[in-house]
Structure 1
Amino acid sequence: MHPSKETSKWLIYTLLGIIADTLDTVLTAIAPPKRPQRSVLPSDIDNFSNAELLELSENAPKVHPDAGVVKLTSGTVAKPSQDMDEDAPDPSEATALDLVFSETTIPVPRVRRVLRREWDFLIVMDYIDGPTLAHVWPTLPKWRKCLVAFTLRRYVRQLRRLQAPPGAPPGPLSASAQGPARICESPVFGQVQSHRGPFASYAELSAFFNDRHRRALDAQGVPQDDPARKDLFDDSEPLVLTHQDLNLRNIVVGDGGRLWLVDWAWAGYFPPWFEYVATQRQSEDARISGTDDEFWKVLVPFICGPYFRQEKWLLRMSQALYWI
């Protein structure tokens, strides 16, 4: 894309974002969002013992043939933890869900129990009944799709208010604010190896990408005095909670059209622009994103912010991410 066209595109999305955020602030002041009532009610597994739940999960039916989530009761499902670290002291996804539930009004499944198994954890959470947005999306008129995008932008805006505590490493969350650094999984790391780290600090994450950027430029024969050598990893904004798997298959349309965000396995503290890159990359494959609708791709920079420069930077150095 020509630089002037790219700048104009960025300005348009930025202006639309400012207008949307102003509207969000006004709406929040007039009618503060409320947590779904079902989330504060008792669960139908409260009287089950851990042993009973583990036994129940062994023969429970799958929610989807290709997923590892099983339906325990009419109101709950169970999901194995997906932490890359074999010795993870707690399941990062459950910690992320607890944080989002307590600190935002984003509709998410409430974690009801975490069960320790031999090799992993079993996360028991509320079952959110309803079709995925991937199923509903083709039936929506464009104005409804725009409303969906506005709602999702409001969700992302809330997530970005949840900054990593001082000293917390990038990547998956730990139950302890000063928990150990963990292996990070993200579409931003590329398709060959989607997990890297652990990174003990934000600076270490930046150093990893800057080193790969240097290797890519060396492989391309870029002169040492070329300005591209000074264009480094963008760590100008703080680490914030990032879902990283925002696609239509991970959004459930519940009662009253409420949008629920599910599947927080990749969630962690990352630069804000990771959300855009991860969502944009998934939108390029209909099997992953749940749609081949071009309008969804148009909405992604509005939902996550137009981080075009960072995306282009990653594209230039992506060759080096093929190296383990």
Structure 2
Amino acid sequence: MSGLDENVPSRTPDAPGDTFNPTIDPQSKDDTNIFPLDGVDINGVSNEDLVRLAETAPVLYQIGSGKVLRISHGLVLKCGPLVLPSEGGRPYGVLRDEGFLVMDYVKGQNLGDCWKSLTKHQKDDVICQTAEIISQLQSIPIPTAGRLGGGPCRGIFVTDYGAGPFNSGSEMEAWFNHKLKICKDYNQAAQDVPSFRFREFVLVHQDISPRNMILDDSGKVHLIDWAHAGAYPPAFERAAIAGQHRFPEFNKMILDVIQKYDVQVRQLQSIWYGLTVASLA
């Protein structure tokens, strides 16, 4: 891992010392159970019924006000104030106003729970698959900029209030250059950091971490939680991984095999003051 990567501050739950204790109901992972919508056509389930399930179905994973519930052998219900239709996957039903999303259930282990117990060969295979996922995402050019489905951008490189929505790539570029200028004006960024120039936009997950990955029984990696995904320059993916600290071995291994983007990562590292202290400027 380069020195640039190691110096990235963190604004994510992966930061050392942050509370990260998910609630999990063991019944949600017991395939001998009968779940509320087993044998039921999801297309015939009303929004009101989904709301009720949010209070009664077994919890597969919960952090704070956001939770994922097992509603059938093949489906989960994700709900919470920050759930967006743009998260992707295979959504069967979306309650846009209430923050509910129905998606496929992927059977397996959360990589964050099992990473330390994997063999070197298994870890190498996970890293290889993850690098291939990133390569596939970055092979998808997107003509627009920002969050998939529209609306303000979310993620580690915008303020807690979001950013945008942007009508063009040049608008997004201008927003980031404004944040860089603020940091330079207040001596919070080196004066020799070049201005942002966004030449291409690709599909970026922006939160790749073992806690957002499922390792199925065949050893295949599945990337989940697309809340921060959108059309961004490809360097955003590397910089986002470098800004996470909870899985240092995984982070170092993946950063060692994906493209460097040293200049662009340095630019993104330089705007933290503008995203935090000067978030409203």
Structure 2 residue 278 is matched with structure 1 residue 316: no
Change (3 A) 1:46 1:205: same
Structure with more of its chain in helix, by fraction = 1
Structure 2 residue 148 is matched with structure 1 residue 173: yes
Structure 2 CA distance, aligned partners of 1:161 and 1:173? 16
Query: What displacement does 1:245 show?
Result: 1.2
% identical aligned pairs: 28
Segment of structure 1 superposing worse, 61-70 or 48-57: 48-57
2:155 match: 186
Match of 1:139 among 117, 120, 140: 117
Change (3 A) 1:209 1:221: closer
Change (3 A) 1:65 1:6: closer
Post-superposition CA distance 1:66-117 (Å, at most 9, x none): 2411111122111137668xxxxx8111xx32xxxxxxxxxxxx33x11436
Q: Secondary structure at the match of 1:64?
A: strand
Change (3 A) 1:272 1:194: farther
Change (3 A) 1:194 1:131: farther
Query: What displacement does 1:60 show?
Result: 1.2
Post-superposition CA distance 1:264-305 (Å, at most 9, x none): 1111111111111111112x2x2xxxx3xx432322324542
Structure 2 residue 198 is matched with structure 1 residue 261: no
Cα pair 2:189 2:271 within 8 Å, conserved: no
Q: How does 1:226-305 map to 2 (within 5 A)?
A: 228=192, 231-236=194-199, 238-282=200-244, 284=245, 286=246, 291=247, 294-302=248-256, 304-305=258-259
Query: Runs (4+) of structure 1 moved beyond 6 Å?
Result: none
* TM value normalised by structure 1: 0.66
Cα pair 1:276 1:306 within 8 Å, conserved: yes
2:185 match: 218
1:46 match: 41
Query: What displacement does 1:194 show?
Result: 6.2
2:57 match: 60
Structure 2 CA distance, aligned partners of 1:241 and 1:280? 18
The aligned amino acid for 1:80 is: C
2:85 match: 91
* TM value normalised by structure 2: 0.75
Structure 2 stretches lacking a partner, 5+ long:
5-37
Q: Secondary structure at the match of 2:109?
A: coil
Higher relative contact order (CA 8 A, sep 6+): 2
Structure 1 CA distance, aligned partners of 2:189 and 2:216? 52
Q: Secondary structure at the match of 2:101?
A: strand
Structure 2 residue 96 is matched with structure 1 residue 129: no
Change (3 A) 1:320 1:139: same
Structure number with greater Rg is 1
Structure 2 CA distance, aligned partners of 1:136 and 1:129? 14
Query: What displacement does 1:123 show?
Result: 1.6
1:200 match: 167
Q: Secondary structure at the match of 1:184?
A: coil
Structure 1 stretches lacking a partner, 5+ long:
8-42, 85-89, 98-109, 175-180
Cα pair 1:241 1:267 within 8 Å, conserved: yes
- Computed over aligned residues only, the root mean square deviation of the Cα atoms, in angstroms, reads 2.9
The aligned amino acid for 1:70 is: L
The aligned amino acid for 2:212 is: N
Structure 2 CA distance, aligned partners of 1:194 and 1:65? 23
Post-superposition CA distance 1:209-253 (Å, at most 9, x none): 112212222222999xx6x26x111413x1111111111011111
Q: Secondary structure at the match of 1:124?
A: strand
For these two proteins, the number of residue pairs brought into alignment is 241
Structure 1 CA distance, aligned partners of 2:188 and 2:44? 63
Change (3 A) 1:217 1:151: same
The aligned amino acid for 2:59 is: K
Query: What displacement does 1:131 show?
Result: 1.2
Query: What displacement does 1:139 show?
Result: 1.5
Q: Secondary structure at the match of 2:214?
A: strand
Structure 1 CA distance, aligned partners of 2:197 and 2:216? 37
Structure 1 CA distance, aligned partners of 2:211 and 2:258? 17
Cα pair 1:185 1:195 within 8 Å, conserved: yes
